[in-house]
Amino acid sequence: MRASKSDLPGLSVVITCFNLEHYIEDSLASVLQQNYPGEHEIIIVDDCSSDRSVEIIKRIIARLGDDKHVTLICNEKNLGVAGATDVGWKAAKYEWILEVDGDDIQMHDRCSKTADLIMRHPQAGLIVMSHSLINAAGQEYGKRLFVKGGEDGEYVASAPEERVAIYMGCGIAHPVNRGAYGCSMCVSKKLIEKWGALSRESTERFAQDPPWELRAFLSFPIVWSNQLACKYRSHESNILNKMREGKTVKDFIQNEMDACEYAGKDFLALEQMQRDLMRVKRDASLSDWGAADVENCLREIQRYAYAAYERHRWWSYSLFKRMYLSLRIADKVPSEFKSWFKLRIVPCSVAMFFKWLKKKR
């Protein structure tokens, strides 16, 4: 029996955007074309874009008139993806929040499928749907499915022991390929209200998905579904897709800097997760995990954090060495290298040196 419009859950769709002028129009169009009859709103958070993103968004909103509940929030300063997401979540008025990246394409029935999962699992704190993979031109090249055993798979982890086992990778086999990707997540406000926002000193610098995934595992049942929520777009601006072919010395050095940056972001996310686990140790009401499970998880996160920190430090301090080797290997130094070196490498290296010196003191 189909649910009536009044029985359907209200959904807040939060779209984050930063310099996505080539993709934001298609992304927003895919959200506006949802076939969801229930109450919903669309919140677009622009994180100080320097391109034409805001202009494009405003033009689309102007064409809509009063037909759609669309709100545009322009941050006064760049807060990073986690900070921008936090702004959108605070502005949301409905119980369930769908995360949308401004460069992805949403399936036309994502809201309807999400609402169906919510109504069947109202106790959940996080719903993770699957997604297909497309390149910058929109060509599909694969899928990322979270439930093993078929494209119609669905799995719910309710008991704390089960959530501990899945998160920690215990046991012989699990029906879930664990992972949280903001592009296909739906978060309940009860999870946000229980934990509060991510720490402000960190939100400007890392993706919010891993900390919120851990918070959900610690507190509420989680639902995974192989139903496709969106088409995740890979392009050179994605943090995991920045690496380019090392055809020039400039490309080589930029790859080094990107790897260093990503290792640093990874460490900051793990640092936030350590703080959350320490909060659980002080306040057991935040989680239904046992004390021993929390302690084991904290040790594991600390181990990963140390590895990420060492990787970040190694990338940073070996930058000059590998740059020197690349110059030795190259037949000649590109003409634009000297000016690029002064503008990018020197300030970055000086900043790294003083940061290291401050920690030593």
What are the extents of the domains in the chain?
A: 9-240, 244-360
pLDDT recorded at residue 182: 79
pTM above 0.85, yes or no: no
Give 209's pLDDT tier (boundaries 50, 70, 90): confident
Would you say 97 and 85 are in contact if contact means Cβ atoms under 8 Å apart?
Answer: no
How many residues does this entry show for the chain?
Answer: 361
pLDDT in tens, 33-52: 998 999 999 999 999 999 99
pLDDT in tens, 342-358: 445 555 556 666 666 66
Average pLDDT (137-141) is 90
Give 154's pLDDT tier (boundaries 50, 70, 90): very high
pLDDT recorded at residue 271: 84
Give 79's pLDDT tier (boundaries 50, 70, 90): confident
pLDDT in tens, 5-24: 778 999 999 999 999 999 99
Q: Write the CB contacts of 158 (distance below 8 Å, at least 6 apart in sequence).
A: 123, 221
Neighbours of 219 (CB within 10 A): 22
Average pLDDT (217-233) is 95
State yes or no: pLDDT of 203 exceeds 90: no
Chain-wide mean pLDDT for the chain? 81
| Torsion sign across C-alpha atoms 132, 19, 203, 73 | negative
Lowest mean pLDDT among 71-80, 115-124, 332-341: 332-341
Distance between CA 16 and CA 226 in Å, rounded? 24
Q: Among candidates 110, 97, 90, which has minimal Cα distance to 32?
A: 110
pLDDT in tens, 107-127: 999 999 999 999 999 999 999
pLDDT recorded at residue 340: 47
pLDDT recorded at residue 343: 47
State yes or no: pLDDT of 244 exceeds 50: no
State yes or no: pLDDT of 245 exceeds 50: no
Would you say 133 and 46 are in contact if contact means Cβ atoms under 8 Å apart?
Answer: no
Helices (H), 33-174: 53-64, 80-91, 110-120, 160-168
pLDDT recorded at residue 289: 96
CATH topology for the 9-240 domain: Spore Coat Polysaccharide Biosynthesis Protein SpsA; Chain A (3.90.550)
Total H helices, total E strands in the chain: 13, 10
Cβ-count burial 315-338 (b if 16+ within 10 Å, e if not):
bbeebeeebeebeeeeeeeeeebe
